[in-house]
Amino acid sequence: MTAALTVDHLTKSFGGRKAVDDVSFTLPEGAFLSVFGPNGAGKTTLLRMLATLSRPTEGTIEVGGISLKEEPDRARESIGLISHNPMLYPDLTAEENLLLYAKLYGVENPQKRVIELLDAVGLKHRRLDRVRTFSRGMTQRTSIARALINDPSLVLLDEPYSGLDPHAIEIFDELIESVRENRTFVMVSHDLDKGLALASHVLVLAKGRVVAFAEKGDLADDEFRALYRSTVGLGVA
């Protein structure tokens, strides 16, 4: 069976500094990988390379067997990105934003797809309102719809809970759970509790290198927290 995501000896250098240093891991279809580490560990740089927003200095990435280096356009068809930056145009309506992305991806019957997704995130009734009038939680829900417009098999999440209130977090969790089937997720997070609750696999980065990678079932939460403290040097609440 082809792996959902294969990262092999991935390195990203900026001048003489390696932000990501020889990172390798493989995820099966349906996995949820939570990536932890202190500021400057290379988490966001790793995610940007997975999202095809940054090119590796060395190493390879394959999504469903498709090389991001050899076939980047084809690979992007299988990738969705959700982050604290919603990547929406504030002066366009929710519907206009999603239609724009649907057409960029060549989605068949884009109007139908847009309405389906806005309904799924509970915003069909606000589809004609400009995004700048939305709350942070509503904007993030629209961002989820945007990320799913191309029905991606790999969904990347970069600190998606940043700035959300507890109610918005609850809604966000329910939305992620509703779309988990047959998708693979990679989430960068500083929140150990949230990351561990969602994860099937965990990865810890420090100074750009992997210091831990395991299936969650192979490591009890307490063991993982102790490993995190000892390898990264950060306390946990």
At 47-73, the pLDDT tens digits run 999 999 999 999 999 999 999 999 999
What is the per-residue pLDDT for 232?
A: 66
235: pLDDT strictly greater than 60: no
What is the per-residue pLDDT for 11?
A: 97
186: pLDDT strictly greater than 80: yes
Look up the pTM and report it: 0.89
Parallel, antiparallel, or unpaired for β 32-36 and 66-67? unpaired
What is the per-residue pLDDT for 1?
A: 60
What is the per-residue pLDDT for 124?
A: 95
13: pLDDT strictly greater than 70: yes
What is the per-residue pLDDT for 145?
A: 93
178: pLDDT strictly greater than 90: no
Instruction: Of 138, 157, 161, 159, give the one whose Cα is nearest residue 147.
Output: 157
pLDDT in tens, 117-172: 999 888 999 999 999 999 988 998 899 999 999 999 999 999 988 777 787 788 88
Work out the mean pLDDT of the chain and round it to a whole number: 89
What is the per-residue pLDDT for 125?
A: 96
CB 23 within 8 A of CB 11: yes
What number does CATH give the domain 1-78+154-160+180-237? 3.40.50.300
Domain ranges in the chain? Answer: 1-78+154-160+180-237, 85-151
Q: In which band, very low, low, confident or very high, does the pLDDT at 237 lie, cut at 50, 70 and 90?
A: very low
What is the per-residue pLDDT for 236?
A: 39
Q: In which band, very low, low, confident or very high, does the pLDDT at 191 lie, cut at 50, 70 and 90?
A: confident
Tokens of 151: 């029905």
230: pLDDT strictly greater than 80: no
Could you write out the three-class secondary structure of the chain? CCCCEEEEEEEEEECCEEEEEEEEEEECCCCEEEEECCCCCCHHHHHHHHCCCCCCCEEEEEECCEECCCCHHHHHCCEEEEECCCCCCCCCEHHHHHHHHHHHCCCCCHHHHHHHHHHHCCCHHHCCCEHHHCCHHHHHHHHHHHHHCCCCCEEEEECCCCCCCHHHHHHHHHHHHHCCCCCEEEEECCCHHHHHHHCCEEEEEECCEEEEEEEHHHCCHHHHHHHHHHHHCCCCC
